[in-house]
Structure 1
């Protein structure tokens, strides 16, 4: 992965507009959380291969970044994104890594289901 370049990511996001695509979205502090500190709450969310129709979307912010994707009846939103790549299957992979390089958030789009 490489650091996000807003214009490049926006161009890639646009290739998924007005199509049914598969979304992977996850957030985590799971293995990185302090499970023995009652003042730290462990949180996470995970969805894989949700099939959605994306109407439009945009990347905003100044490192870390936010991506919002408008669907027919709602939104998908990810914040804290730092890195991206377009893999050889045409899947757009966006991730947010903390200062130690650990994954905190991932948003991925594909025209085919994720393995």
Structure 2
């Protein structure tokens, strides 16, 4: 992945205003890491292949960055973004901590995203 270049991300967001996009949003404070502290409360969020259209798309900050997308009835907002990949009309934004662990992700694509896991596992 590359370090976020705000002007590249803003150009993508501007280009896709009112375009139906499939969205993947994920946040975690440690779902991919092992924690040996029984008092640690792990939290996260995952949503995939939700079709959105936004009227305003903005990237803000000086690194880590935040992206806000104004939807018909609210906002989709992801904060802590550090890296990106752009493949044609597919944009992947991710936020990694100092150790390189994933903290958040925002993936936008005019085509459906690969499905992956379909069930929530009980651990």
Structure with a larger share of its residues in strand: 1
Residue 110 of structure 1 is matched in structure 2 by 109
Alpha-carbon deviation of 1:37? 3.1
8 Å contact from structure 1 (residues 23, 52) kept in 2? yes
Q: Please list every run of at least 4 consecutive aligned residues from structure 1 whose deviation after the TM superposition is greater than 3 angstroms.
A: none
8 Å contact from structure 1 (residues 33, 42) kept in 2? no
TM-score calculated relative to the size of structure 2: 0.86
Greater CA deviation, 13-22 or 77-86? 13-22
8 Å contact from structure 2 (residues 32, 101) kept in 1? no
Match runs of 1:61-80 below 5 Å: 61-80=61-80
Alpha-carbon deviation of 1:17? 0.6
8 Å contact from structure 1 (residues 21, 54) kept in 2? no
- Within 1, Cα distance between the matches of 2:87 and 2:31? 26
- Within 1, Cα distance between the matches of 2:8 and 2:32? 32
Residue 31 of structure 1 is matched in structure 2 by 32
2:22 partner SS: strand
Count of paired positions: 113
Q: Deviations over 1:14-50 (max 9, x none)?
A: 1221111111000112132525331x21011000000
Gaps of 5+ in 1: none
Match runs of 1:31-110 below 5 Å: 31-32=32-33, 34=35, 36-38=37-39, 40-88=40-88, 90-110=89-109
Gaps of 5+ in 2: 115-123
Residue 20 of structure 2 is matched in structure 1 by 20
1:100 partner SS: coil
Give the alignment's Cα RMSD to 1 decimal: 1.2
